[in-house]
A and B are shown apart, each in its own frame.
Chain A
Amino acid sequence: MKILLVGMNHRTAPVEVRERFAVDDPLPWLQKLVETPEIEEAALLSTCNRVEVIATARNLDSGRHRLRAFFHRELGHAAALPQHRSQSAVLYEHVDTDAVRHLFRVAASIDSLVVGEPQILGQVKDAYRVAAEGGACGPLLNRLFTSAFAAAKRVRNETQIAARPVSMARVAVELAGQIFETLADKHALLIGAGEMIEAALEALRGAGLASVAVANRTPERAAELAARHGATAHGLAELPALLAAADVVLTSIGVDRPLLDAPLFEDALRARRRKPIFAIDLGVPRNVDPAVNDLDDVYLYDVDDLGGVAEANAEERRRETVRAEAIVQEEVERFHGWLSALQAVPTIRRLRARAEAIRQAELDKSLGRLALGDAERQAVEALTRSIVNKLLHAPVSRLREQAEREEGLAYLEAAKVLFALDDPSAPGAGADGRDGEPEES
């Protein structure tokens, strides 16, 4: 049985391509897939950054063709993949261990556009739930997804991959948390009314500040923005009073020279009995005189400072990614071990069947010649069974152990040759336990 993964993501396909392949409800598509003889089990993951199908197939080539055809002719609403790119560049394809690793990396948010973003695990879980409830998942994918969730959980718990925010507004909120014990009783002042201010408004509102004031040159713009986000609107003339009440000040406004200078902050600090102020200057040119940072109790961060923190966070994420990859590798190997052990099952069954058939045949032959009572008959039965079991115990347990390792396949092959398990004329060859058991192909 082969594990196959075919799909596209933010690196291989631009959004105008991905959006044509995105699906809201994967179930009908999955049912179409598993109805075809080439595909055994399948799950479909469709997010804004990726569309992927992971499936199991008895045969690699036919399975691969089926999945590619699925993307080319069915999923994209018959929209051909763009001509200007070679198809292979848009669609990637992973087989077996690579497919397993890819799914684990996706679930652990290593493959995400923003590494460490938390949503992807939920999306993978949803994809699995839909596939499982729709009957598209079998034992292999069940185990595969369970392992992927375990890997993602370990990455989340054992690394700092998602611990540090990388967006400006969220970095600002994180920094505020290093200055203030709680934001629930803090007041924010936003100066300006552009996109930056709007993004900051959302982030600050999400952080649960007590109140937010918006001040702008044209108060109408401020009023409009304030109304939308439950803030109060002010003109720039009110700045000194607003500053005295503000614990967090965030500015992004077009100015020729700094709007807020050190004396203004000094007055504000005096008025607020030196309660600290966290000032974030997102303006270019800068809105706040850099000398303000020299004042005690004011912490001034400009775009570059915040960018530095965000970059340090991103750097930390990259470092953590290395640790995360190592965890994924461990989990891939663990899954591989399970899969390999599974491969030993048919061989072991055939081996047992062969031994049992021989025992039975020889027993029948001998019992026909001997005139034994019931008690003796049972004793001979037990004796032969015990001999067979003892003889088989070591090879069977060794096969199980070795199957989890790299070189396990060689042992399986050796067992087949030594015991002539592939010989159809040998006794017991019919009962080889082929039904439903994955095996190497």
Chain B
Amino acid sequence: MAIELHQLTAAFYLIAGLAGLAGLAMPRARFGRAAPWLLAAGALVHGVAFAWLHTLPHPPLLTHLPSAVSLMGWLAAIASLVLLRRGRLAAVAALVAPLAFLAVFFASVSYRDLEPTPPADAGSWPHLHVIFASAGLALLGVAGIAGVLFLAADRGLKAKRPWRSRLPSLEALDRANSMALAGGFPLLSCGVVAGMLWTQGETGALWVGGAHAIWSIVAWAIYLALVVARFVAGWRGREAAASAALGFAFLLFVVIGVGAVA
């Protein structure tokens, strides 16, 4: 049942993404307006799916990549819906939806192969690590998507071919980027700290190295630099947008690329 719920969630996210992208491409199409509602419906089902997983005798561990990625997709969907309520940022939700779809699809496929997992006994740090890191990643993902949209809109305006669609204004995208970064970085930091404490609980040392740990610290340092540049040195506009997009691409590589290899 949990897998079916995940599949239903994936279907909602997929349709929301298609509707949202079609709405961007064809501003007159009314189904574009349905995208946020579909995304919200998907997020609701997704939440139910998580609850269902939790009631299983041997739920898949949250620390497994599929669970973490699924959680990330859920939080990103919620974050983009919150942004949507604050401004005309339907375009951000339209791009988040396909990513959320991929995350949930990946999770539902992976759950199928999972053996019932034995209960782990590692305290609450692993869970906190995944929850904080996923939330941070979700928000930084939203910042990256706002950045990509900013670059597209900026390019169109500079080239005197303004987007003939419902892209949000540059100002709104810049603000979304800044808000998501302001929320995402502290969460990511908490995730890193929780991860270190988890390592300490298992090995007795805060730092034991390993690909995931090293790359994560690099990504965190990059975001620290970005936060300083943005909120202290006053970066905005194109530089901020491009670095948010690149930063998120790097972060995805760290979590999924390195995680999958590991």
**A residues engaging B (CB < 8 A)?**
158-160, 163-164, 175, 177-181, 273-276, 293, 296-297, 299, 301, 305, 308-309, 312, 316
Contacts and interface: CB of A to CB of B under 8 A. Distances in A.
A276 B171 contact: yes
Given A160-B27, A274-B236, A180 B160 contact: no
A178 B172 CA distance: 9
Contacts of A299: 157-158
11 contacts: A163-B28, A179-B157, A179-B171, A180-B169, A180-B171, A274-B237, A296-B239, A297-B236, A297-B237, A299-B157, A299-B158
B238 interface: yes
Given A177-B169, A276-B170, 17 more contacts: A158-B28, A160-B27, A163-B27, A178-B162, A178-B163, A179-B157, A181-B87, A181-B88, A181-B168, A181-B171, A273-B234, A273-B236, A274-B234, A274-B236, A275-B236, A308-B160, A309-B162
A297 B153 CA distance: 12
Contact of A175 (B88, B162, B171, B172): B162
B171 A301 contact: no
A181 B169 CA distance: 5
A305 B153 CA distance: 16
Contacts of B237: 274, 276, 296-297
B237 to A, nearest CB: 5
Contacts of A180: 169-171
B175 interface: yes
A191 B175 CA distance: 30
A438 B68 CA distance: 73
Interface in B144-203: 153, 157-158, 160, 162-164, 167-172, 175
A178 B28 contact: no
Contact of B167 (A178, A181, A276): A178
> Lowest 9 CB-CB distances: which A-B pairs, in order?
A181-B171, A181-B172, A305-B160, A181-B169, A180-B171, A299-B157, A179-B170, A160-B28, A297-B237
B238 A296 contact: yes
Nearest to B26: A160
A179 B160 CA distance: 13
Contacts of B170: 178-180, 276
B160 A309 contact: yes
A58 to B, nearest CB: 44
A240 B153 CA distance: 28
Nearest to A273: B234
B27 A178 contact: no
A181 B175 contact: yes
Contact of A301 (B160, B167, B238): B160
A216 B160 CA distance: 28
Given A181-B87, A181-B169, A312 B158 contact: no
Contacts of B239: 296
Contact of A293 (B158, B167, B172, B234): B158
**Max count, chain B CB within 10 A of own CB: residue among A296, A301, A316:** A296
Name the residue among A181, A308, A309 with the largest chain B CB count within 10 angstroms. Answer: A181
Contacts of B175: 181
A178 B157 contact: yes
Interface in B211-262: 234, 236-239
A178 B160 contact: no
Contacts of A177: 169
Contacts of B153: 178
Contacts of A179: 157, 169-171
A178 B150 CA distance: 11
B219 to A, nearest CB: 26
Contacts of A163: 27-28
Nearest to B89: A181
B141 to A, nearest CB: 22
A273 B157 CA distance: 21
Interface in B81-123: 87-88
B164 A312 contact: yes
A297 B234 CA distance: 13
Nearest to A320: B28
B28 to A, nearest CB: 5
A85 to B, nearest CB: 41
Nearest to A158: B28
Most chain B CB within 10 A, of A175, A178, A293, is at A178
B164 A316 contact: yes
Nearest to B168: A181
A91 B98 CA distance: 58
Nearest to B173: A181
Nearest to B172: A181
A279 B25 CA distance: 27
Nearest to B157: A299
Nearest to A299: B157
B138 to A, nearest CB: 23
Contacts of A296: 237-239
Contacts of A159: 28
B180 to A, nearest CB: 16
A297 B164 contact: no
A244 to B, nearest CB: 15
Contacts of A276: 170-171, 237
B90 to A, nearest CB: 14
Contacts of A309: 160, 162
Nearest to A186: B171
A287 B171 CA distance: 26
Contacts of A175: 157, 162
B166 to A, nearest CB: 10
Nearest to B167: A178
B89 to A, nearest CB: 10
A322 to B, nearest CB: 14
A308 B156 CA distance: 13
A349 B15 CA distance: 54
Contacts of B28: 158-160, 163
Contacts of B160: 301, 305, 308-309
Nearest to A278: B157
